């Protein structure tokens, strides 16, 4: 559904630019104002897509989008002020919002919750989730045990998830890493089967030896099969804006597909 929406947006935008180029009407569409407007929409979208709203991310999206939109409206002679004025007066407010969020409790030091139950086949399951908003998240700095599904949700900051320090119990483990903005590093070990799907909306993505850079939709997948492995990690890593790197540190050679 998201892909169809962006397809319609880009189609309509292209039509408006074409009408402007052939002189039908001046919509005020220029390259950088349009890019900033779309980037603001992406940031707002990511802020609202996590199931909780980070006010800092939302404010950042509104600010970036306002810079682009005001530039468009000024070019179209609808507004007297442009993106420069919005940028000059808006960024100090973002710093104030971040400071207040940290001081007044928008920062969480990683809420950790676990649930267990039985599925339709009456087999037991367990899922754990770690949630934080602003700051750095490092999971796996010291040895730990992976015996359940895991979810890591983060707003703004650097995130490191290290599975190489984990004692991975036999079985199938689903891992979700979802970050709004920042730098994400995921370290995965050898000796286990891997099914990895990684995506970045805006920024840079490196998955093993492959690399992608750009805007809107950077996706890579990898599968590693290890003979005799008793554990499988199914990892889905999603980043809104920033850099993501997934490192493969094999202890036992696997077949990468």
Beta bridge partners of 68: none
**Averaged over 156-172, what is the pLDDT?**
91
* Selected residue with higher pLDDT from 144 and 123: 144
The bridge status of strand 193-207 relative to strand 231-249 is: parallel
* Selected residue with higher pLDDT from 49 and 203: 203
Furthest CA-CA distance within the chain: 68
Q: Which of 137, 180, 159, 196 is nearest to 45 (CA)?
A: 180
Instruction: Report the share of the chain in percent with pLDDT over 90.
Output: 28
The per-residue pLDDT for range 166-205, each reduced to its tens digit, is 999 999 999 999 988 889 999 999 889 999 999 998 889 9
pLDDT at res. 95 = 73
The per-residue pLDDT for range 224-236, each reduced to its tens digit, is 999 999 999 999 9
């Amino acid at each position: 559904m998201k892909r169809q929406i962006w397809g319609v947006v880009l189609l309509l935008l292209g039509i408006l630019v074409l009408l402007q180029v052939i002189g039908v009407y001046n919509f005020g569409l220029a390259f950088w104002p349009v890019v900033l407007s779309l980037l603001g929409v992406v940031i707002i979208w990511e802020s609202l897509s996590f199931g909780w709203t980070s006010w800092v991310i939302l404010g950042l999206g509104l600010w970036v989008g306002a810079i682009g939109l005001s530039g468009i409206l000024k070019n179209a002679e609808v507004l007297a002020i442009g993106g420069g004025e919005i940028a000059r007066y808006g960024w100090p407010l973002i710093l104030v919002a971040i400071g207040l969020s940290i001081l007044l409790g928008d920062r969480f030091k990683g809420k950790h919750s676990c649930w267990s139950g039985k599925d339709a086949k009456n087999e037991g399951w367990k899922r754990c989730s770690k949630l934080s908003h602003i700051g750095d998240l490092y999971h796996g700095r010291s040895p730990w045990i992976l015996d359940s599904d895991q979810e890591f949700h983060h707003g703004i900051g650097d995130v490191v998830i290290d599975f190489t320090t984990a004692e991975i119990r036999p079985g199938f483990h689903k891992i979700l890493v979802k970050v709004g903005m920042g730098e994400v590093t995921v370290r995965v070990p050898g000796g286990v089967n891997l099914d990895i799907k990684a995506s970045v909306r805006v920024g840079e993505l490196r998955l093993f030896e492959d690399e992608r850079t750009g805007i809107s939709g950077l996706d890579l997948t990898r599968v590693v099969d290890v003979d005799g492995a008793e554990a499988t990690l199914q990892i889905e890593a999603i980043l809104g804006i920033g850099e993501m790197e997934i490192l493969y540190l094999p202890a036992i050679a696997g077949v990468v597909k």
